Amino acid sequence: MIPTTKIYLPESEMPTHWYNVAADLPNPPAPYCAPDGTPVPPEAMLAIFPEEILKQEMSAERWIPIPEPVREALTMWRPSPLYRAHRLEKMLGTPAKIYYKNEAVSPAGSHKPNSAVPQAYYNRQAGIRRLTTETGAGQWGSSLALAGQMFGIDVRIYMVKISYEQKPYRRSMMTTWGAEVFPSPTDMTNAGRAVLAADPNSNGSLGIAISEAVEEAASRADTNYALGSVLNHVLLHQTIIGLEAKKQLAIAGDYPDMVFAPCGGGSNFGGIAFPFLADNATGKQVRLVAVEPSSCPSLTKGVYTYDFGDTAGLTPMMKMYTLGHNFMPPGIHAGGLRYHGASALVSQLYHEKLIEATSVGQLETFAAGVLFAKSEGIVPAPESCHAIAAMIREAKACAKTGEAKTLLFNLSGHGHFDMTSYDRYLQGELTDFDYPEEAIKASLADLPSFAKV
Amino acid sequence: MIPTTKIYLPESEMPTHWYNVAADLPNPPAPYCAPDGTPVPPEAMLAIFPEEILKQEMSAERWIPIPEPVREALTMWRPSPLYRAHRLEKMLGTPAKIYYKNEAVSPAGSHKPNSAVPQAYYNRQAGIRRLTTETGAGQWGSSLALAGQMFGIDVRIYMVKISYEQKPYRRSMMTTWGAEVFPSPTDMTNAGRAVLAADPNSNGSLGIAISEAVEEAASRADTNYALGSVLNHVLLHQTIIGLEAKKQLAIAGDYPDMVFAPCGGGSNFGGIAFPFLADNATGKQVRLVAVEPSSCPSLTKGVYTYDFGDTAGLTPMMKMYTLGHNFMPPGIHAGGLRYHGASALVSQLYHEKLIEATSVGQLETFAAGVLFAKSEGIVPAPESCHAIAAMIREAKACAKTGEAKTLLFNLSGHGHFDMTSYDRYLQGELTDFDYPEEAIKASLADLPSFAKV
């Protein structure tokens, strides 16, 4: 009798509602603020987001219905399979039971389309036919390109120039799905022109690309903006991952002791972890672990205060664990999750000790990715490798204690477009890098006075 | 009610036997021959293949059991899902019902591991711990790297040099799974050294890489050779695709009028089509269409005679439709399926008019791929685009006649490692190229006298 590897959920069993963790927070979420410390009302963001998205951003309802056209669009790849990692367990010699949710099966290769699809839908419902966004390596940009195609929305993507030049394959993918892609900084926005005036050879950064996309959306009535992580509504859309996982674990007759997910902006972690937090509110005790790179350690080494979402300071300020919006991850860092802060929801939960966080160096990260590829086959995205590495630590601990814990992690994406990072690792070109405390203090220095730490 | 997109088969329903089409041939298969026209006995190939593989190569048994360890290994990704292409049907405005088998879900991204796994298994059973093989763009090489890892076999891959340099990502994938990869021609074999002596800057070719891999396997007792298409046992292993598809179509309450698959060496086509041929033998009338590039048209423009499997003439000769073993596809050709011949089984079936063949120009091919990506999401491998293009022709014909035919095709792989080809297409750099009859005649000129045409 061959043990079951993949647990599928029929399309008819796909969740009908997203789970909104804001309903189960012990304390109300901190409001968004202007640089003078006064709260920013949601209406202020109507220039770039549709009303329905803003409602979700501010909602305190526990369950928010997923519109039927969104559910139908998601069946393109959802429900995603849950895997029991028999082969990895064997290779680790652990009594732990390891499960992973495979979000790499989406056409864009990651969990990102889970939010791109509803964002495109709500914008289209609001009469919007054009969206702008930014992308670094391209996971979010390709997801929005796909979603825009599904709902008849034109998508313009500002792609960080160095990625545009060095990682052309994701750009090709976005173009194949019909999106426009420009290397940022461009000369099409004030933000871009200002950067180019100071440095015509700028390689660009995620912060600059966000500023360009937001500026264009704010200045054109026919155009909105879409963000791939950090914001509450994005994390809300991603909870479909954890909700499905719970149903699939029930089919397997199991329930996790610990859940691991990579954490950059937070959509990946929030997506799989929040639905289990709902169970903790009713008596369960699942440990939820956000895993971040030691070279970009916002939760484990950052400060909990108000900061901007982008480099140029065009976004409202959010209360979050941050390394400072001028933070630049070191060039040696190859594993993604480069955002300077963590989402407000993840940050608050961490501050209130309802979730845990840990950091992993990149050598351990890629070693975990290679071990996973050799046992389970799938070459994981470098982001996903962070969760795998932290989970492996626990599985090895179980091997010592003999405990048969049930461990779940989010395989957020595949690494097909990240093979250069694997190459660098396999050729010994990578080293670990712990982001120094002094550099964090320095990058936090220019916060507005009300947010000073 | 949302219409079902994906039809899954439980792992317990995975086929227990492969289907051997040789049992249902109206005439016995032509034997393998030496250059003097005398039959080559199977034992002559024991230097590079294990006995069990050779038995399968020559078998006339209709059903051949799949060993349990192979079935267990295949559950890493199998059964693969069958999709109903609702979105593509809508975009085409066709009454046809379109289904596709998604072989892109394997960790290597194509159908190739379906044979790599049993080949690694049988070699390991025979005590072999080392395999050599060749690869062009890398689909087969990465599949054997994965399978070798699963069964504890070291894999050495001779990768066509121009691909090694221009498509480094598949090489990285093979290395991640632990294989050794060398740019061919190398100075490690007589075949390689001879090529380098004549042209130190040789870009390599599939034919040269095969010669290097075969030479090494033949000269080392601890090493065997594995091939990814063409041979009977490879096509046998691939029939799991069609066998699963039949079960899944039965779940959907459907049965195909036509089946389409890309055809290079033939494992892709044989894999999905042969199990339906078994039904034709018992009264059904499914049309089975092999689709090839117009720039590499072995079935539609080649000659049915004996030819070598490789450029150097190290392999036995097989009776097949061939363009001549010196055939070189034009540089403009971007879509794979570059082999000079078709497998002996596919060739015989075509010769006996039990299957059909058609060719498609590459502009139509990539246009079909982009349309598929825009409707179904998945960016298909250029090889798969051939089947999609031919299937779309039929779906459009149905739109005119109003016929609601059921069409099935094999989505043999994804295009994540082929985005440069999409780029070239989207940037207008590709043109069509029909391989000229005179060139075919010329490349057939040096066949041994008994095979002259």
CA-CA distance, A296 to A233, in Å (whole number)?
A: 24
Which among A2, A77, A173 has CB closest to B72?
A2
pLDDT value at residue A310: 81
Binary contact (A76, B416; C-beta < 8 A) = no
pLDDT above 70 as % of chain B: 100
- Same domain as B396, residue B259: yes
Is pLDDT at A328 greater than 80 in this prediction?
no
The structure tokens listed for A202 are 């700028």
Q: With bands split at pLDDT 50, 70 and 90, how would you rate the model's confidence at A29?
A: very high
Measured CA to CA, the distance from residue B334 to residue B417 in angstroms comes to 12
Peptide bond into B185 cis (omega under 30): yes
Q: How far is B296 from chain A (nearest CA, A)?
A: 25
Q: Is A346 on the interface with B (CB under 8 A)?
A: no
Assess whether B199 and B343 both reside in one domain. Answer: no
More confident residue, A18 or A327: A18
CA distance to partner chain B, nearest, from residue A82 (Å): 12
pLDDT in tens, A59-73: 999 999 999 999 999
CA distances from B178 to A201, A296, B307 (A): 39, 30, 35
B11 touches chain A (CB under 8 A): yes
**Residue B250: partners with Cβ closer than 8 Å, 6 or more residues away:** none
Residue A48, pLDDT above cutoff 80: yes
A200 close to B (CB below 8 A): no
Within a domain: A322: yes
Range with the lowest mean pLDDT among A326-330, B88-92, B338-342? A326-330
Residues A209 and A82 reside in one and the same domain: no
ipTM of the complex: 0.96
Q: What is the pLDDT of residue A67?
A: 98
Q: Which residue of B has its CA nearest to A149?
A: B374
Rounded to a whole number, what is the largest CA-CA distance in chain A? Answer: 67
In a shared domain, residues A172 and A248: no
User: Is residue B330 very low, low, confident or very high in pLDDT (cuts 50, 70, 90)?
Assistant: confident
Taking only the tens place, the pLDDT of each residue in A130-160 is: 999 999 889 999 999 999 999 999 999 999 9
Question: B25 lies in a domain?
Answer: no
Nearest by Cα to B444 from B305, B329, B317, B345: B305
Average pLDDT of the segment spanning B414-429: 94
Q: What is the pLDDT of residue A434?
A: 83
Mean pLDDT of chain B: 94
What is the rounded average pLDDT of the residues B361-370? 97
Same domain, B199 and B237: no
Residues of the domain holding B374: 7-13+66-109+233-451
DSSP state, residue B252 = T
Q: What is the pLDDT of residue A438?
A: 86
pLDDT band at B301 (very low <50, low <70, confident <90, very high): very high
User: Do A184 and A296 sit in the same domain of this protein?
Assistant: no
Q: Which of A431-445, B46-60, B390-404 has the lowest mean pLDDT?
A: A431-445
In a domain, A35, yes or no: no
Whether residues A263 and A160 fall in one domain: no
Name the minimum distance, in Å, from the CA of B156 to any CA of chain A: 16
CA distance A34 to chain B (A): 40
Of the candidates B4, B72, B420, the beta carbon closest to that of A11 is on B4
Interatomic CA distance for residues A77 and A83, integer angstroms? 15
Closest CA to B25 of B285, B357, B346: B346
Residue B56 lies in a domain: no
Using a pLDDT cut of 90, give the percent of chain A over it.
83
Q: Are residues A382 and A396 in the same domain?
A: yes
Are A117 and A199 within one domain?
yes
- Residue B329 reports pLDDT greater than 90: no
**pLDDT tops 80 at residue A312:** no
Same domain for A301 and A171:
no
Q: What's the mean per-residue pLDDT of chain A?
A: 94
Residue A49 domain flag: no
C-beta of residue B376 within 8 angstroms of C-beta of residue B87: yes
Beta strands B258-262 and B223-225, pairing class: unpaired
For residues B10-20, average pLDDT: 97
Asked whether residue B96 is assigned to any structural domain, the reply reads: yes
CATH number of the domain to which A117 belongs:
3.40.50.1100
**Three-state SS for B16?**
coil
Choose one of B202, B227, B252: the last residue of a domain. B227
Residue B283 in this model has a pLDDT that exceeds 90: no
pLDDT of B89 strictly over 90: yes
Give the confidence band of A126 by pLDDT, cuts at 50, 70, 90. Answer: very high
Domain C-terminal end among B195, B227, B259: B227
Interface check B151 vs A, CB under 8 A: no
Residue that terminates a domain, selected from B189, B210, B227? B227
Same-domain pairing of B344 and B419: yes
CA separation for the pair A51, A58 (Å, rounded): 11
Q: How many domains does chain A have?
A: 2
State residue B351's pLDDT score: 97
Give pLDDT tens digits for B132-162: 999 988 999 999 999 999 999 999 999 999 8
Q: Are A280 and A366 part of one and the same domain?
A: yes
